[in-house]
Amino acid sequence: MFLSLFQRKSETTVASKPSYPEIDCEKLRNIIYGFIRTIKDPEKPNTLEELKVVYENGVQVRKSVAENLNVVRIEFNPTVPHCSLATLIGLCIRIKLEQTVPYKFKLDIFIKKGGHASENEINKQINDKERIAAAMENPNLKKVVEQCIQED
Partner 1 sequence: MGKLEHIQTLSKHIGRVWSVAWHPKGDALATCGEDKTIRIWAKEGKEWVNKVILTDGHKRTIRDISWSPCGNYLASASFDATVAIWDKKSGEFECSATLEGHENEVKSVAWSKSGHLLATCSRDKSVWIWEVAEDDEYECAAVLNAHTQDVKKITWHPHVDLLASASYDNTVKIFKEDPSDNDWICIATLSSHESTVWSLSFDKTGNRLATCSDDQTVKIWKQYLPNNSEGVPTTDGEASWKCICTLSGYHTRTVYDISWCHLTDSIATACGDDIIRIFKEDEGSDPNAPTFSLINSAERSHTQDVNSVKWNPKVPGLLASCSDDGDIKLWNFIE
Q: Enumerate binding residues for partner 1 (CB under 8 A).
A: 1-7, 10-14, 17, 20, 64, 66-69, 104, 106, 124, 128-131, 133-134, 137
CB atoms under 10 Å from CB of 15, counted, come to: 5
Compute the least distance from the CB of residue 16 to partner 1, in Å. 9
Measured from the CB atom, the residue of 82 and 106 that comes closer to partner 1 is: 106
- Of 82 and 129, CB closest to partner 1: 129
Least Cβ distance, residue 144 to partner 1 (angstroms): 18
Nearer to partner 1, 45 or 133 (CB): 133
Instruction: Report in angstroms the alpha-carbon separations of 113 from 41, 70, 106.
Output: 20, 23, 21
Q: Which is nearer to partner 1, 20 or 80 (CB)?
A: 20
State how far the alpha carbon of 78 is from the alpha carbons of 2, 15, 45, 88, 118, in Å: 48, 44, 16, 11, 11
Do the beta carbons of residue 81 and residue 135 sit within 8 Å?
no
Counting other chains too, the contacts that 123-130 makes at CB distance below 8 Å and 24 or more residues apart are 125/87, 125/90, 126/87, 126/90, 126/91, 126/94
User: Minimum distance between the CB of residue 84 and partner 1, rounded to whole angstroms?
Assistant: 20
When the beta carbons of 79 and 110 are compared against partner 1, the nearer one is 110
Q: How far is the CB of 60 from partner 1 (least distance, A)?
A: 16
Task: Give, in order, the Cα–Cα distances in Å from 38 to each of 16, 35, 148.
Answer: 34, 6, 9
Residue 75 CB, shortest distance to partner 1, in Å, is 18
